[in-house]
Amino acid sequence: MGNAELNGATLTGPDLDRVFIRARAGAPDPSDALMERVMRDALAAMPAALAPVASQPAMGMRRSLRQLWSSFSAGFGGSGVVASLGAVTAIALFLGYTAPAGIAGGILAEALMPLAGMADTPAGDGDDGIEIEPVAIYFLAGG
Amino acid sequence: MPRDTVDDEDEAALLARYALGDAGAARLLTERLLPPALSFACRMLAGDRAEAEDVAQEAMLRLWRAAPGWREGEAKVSTWLYRVVANLVTDRIRSRQRRNRHTGGALLELGDAPEAADGSPGVEARLIAAERMAALDLALAALPGRQREAVVLRHLEGLSNPEIAAVMGVGVEAVESLTARGRKGLARALGPYRALMGFEGE
């Protein structure tokens, strides 16, 4: 600022204060683009952005299992339907493992054998017996 | 949201809310803190708007990252942010100096000022205002860095001397000394532009 020193010109204190007042009035406002950039940074750096997901392990185990059961049973049409399916499955397993005498050689076998015999009858011999597919006979006979 | 409805304690509370995942708190903090950060950076960087925006954005990013570990009562958020801006500006000025690009010290050449697209009074007034601001920016850039920082914080950002002392990490007496010397230097630097400032007719 050599010119100023040579001229001996300086602003007075009040003039300098007026310069400051004008400068404060003309302070730059952030543009919308800058506001957007800063907000984007804020959301990207937000420390608890995943807080809802992270807080799930703190949930009680009993509550989690209840929610899992609700979701599962809803997919089958409700708790009642799932309970019925479970009961049928348990009975089927029991019958499959124990092979009760009533099925292997008793009542059911006696009832089914005549049907099996009819299946061996050639078709078109004038008999009106029921036709049962060999595969079905195999399962019904406990094979 | 009016800026004066949020005080400094609220800024710390907002930062705590942001740390808990409150995006609305981030919005309020941005509206409150970004304008002074940008203004301070702009005056410290000789009116370089683009660079000032980069500095302000970087300072705000550091604030977001500091939020989880922020201890309420340790420092005022605004004071902390001013300090970060000042440090970033210092780094940029040093970087400029290393590249031998001086930021100030030259007198404003009025012939370099942009010409008005037409002769309308509004355009002329804006040009004059821009030239006055450019003269102030160049005069500020000619000051030693610590004096410039103290003058800008005191007279353009409106901080009190204790607040400036907290930002600059010095005592209040040192702030008073830096501000007084800065004002003298600025008055001398702006002397040749007295006519441009338009004080004669006032």
CATH of the domain at B17: 1.10.1740.10
Average pLDDT across chain A, whole number: 63
Final residue in a domain of this structure, among B86, B103, B120: B103
Can you tell me whether residue B1 is helix, strand or coil?
A: coil
| d(CA B99, nearest CA chain A) in Å | 23
Same-domain check for residues B112 and B171: yes
Q: For A24, which residue in chain B has the nearest alpha carbon?
A: B156
| d(CA A12, nearest CA chain B) in Å | 7
Residue B202 lies in a domain: no
Residue B10 pLDDT grade (very low, low, confident, very high; cuts 50, 70, 90) = confident
Query: In the predicted model, is pLDDT for residue B194 greater than 50?
Result: yes
Same-domain check for residues B85 and B123: no
Same-domain check for residues B172 and B93: no
Same-domain check for residues B177 and B96: no
- When mean pLDDT is compared over A70-79, A107-116, B124-133, the highest value belongs to B124-133
Residue A66 lies in a domain: no
Q: What is the CATH number of the domain that holds B112?
A: 1.10.10.10
Query: In the predicted model, is pLDDT for residue B79 greater than 80?
Result: yes
Residue B133 lies in a domain: yes
Tens of pLDDT, residue by residue over B116-154, are 445 555 777 778 888 889 999 999 999 999 999 999 999
Give which of B133, B40, B151 is closest to B89, Cα–Cα: B40
**Is there a contact between A22 and B142 if contact means CB atoms under 8 Å apart?**
no
Can you tell me whether residue A41 is helix, strand or coil?
A: helix
Q: Tell me the CA distances in angstroms from B47 to A67, B37, B133, B139, B143, one per residue in order.
A: 60, 13, 8, 11, 14
pLDDT computed for residue A47 by the predictor: 78
Residue A113 sits in which domain range? 99-143
- When mean pLDDT is compared over A70-74, A92-96, B78-82, the highest value belongs to B78-82
Q: Find the mean pLDDT for residues A24-47.
A: 94
Same-domain check for residues B77 and B94: yes
Same-domain check for residues B132 and B153: yes
**Which residue in B53, B64, B136 is closest to A45 by CB distance?**
B64
Same-domain check for residues B3 and B89: yes
pLDDT computed for residue A53 by the predictor: 39
Answer whether B180's CB lies under 8 Å from A13's CB: no
Compute the distance between CA of residue B27 and CA of residue B43 in angstroms, rounded to an integer. 25
Residue A13 lies in a domain: no
CA dihedral B135→B141→B144→B149, nearest 10 degrees, is 90
Same-domain check for residues B130 and B49: no
Residue A126 lies in a domain: yes
Same-domain check for residues B52 and B145: no
Query: In the predicted model, is pLDDT for residue B54 greater than 90?
Result: yes
Residue A126 pLDDT grade (very low, low, confident, very high; cuts 50, 70, 90) = very low
**Is there a contact between B191 and A11 if contact means CB atoms under 8 Å apart?**
yes
Average pLDDT across chain B, whole number: 85
Chain A, residues 41-60, CB within 8 A of chain B, namely 41-43, 45-49, 51
Residue A36 lies in a domain: no
Q: Does A22 touch chain B (CB under 8 A)?
A: yes
Q: Find the mean pLDDT for residues A14-40.
A: 94
Share of chain B above pLDDT 90, in %: 66
Q: Find the mean pLDDT for residues A90-98.
A: 68
**Is there a contact between B19 and A4 if contact means CB atoms under 8 Å apart?**
no
Same-domain check for residues B113 and B161: yes
Domains in chain B, number: 2
For residue A24, count other CB atoms closer than 10 A to its CB: 13
Residue B46 pLDDT grade (very low, low, confident, very high; cuts 50, 70, 90) = very high
Q: Does A16 touch chain B (CB under 8 A)?
A: yes
CB pairs below 8 Å between A and B: how many? 130
Domains in chain A, number: 1
| d(CA A7, nearest CA chain B) in Å | 8
Residue A106 lies in a domain: yes
Same-domain check for residues B94 and B11: yes
Residue A10 lies in a domain: no
Residue B117 sits in which domain range? 107-197
Compute the distance between CA of residue B156 and CA of residue B150 in angstroms, rounded to an integer. 10
Residues of chain A neighbouring B21 (CB-CB closer than 8 A) = 46-49, 51
Q: Collect all residues with Cβ–Cβ distance below 8 Å to B23 and sequence separation of at least 6.
A: A42, A43, A46
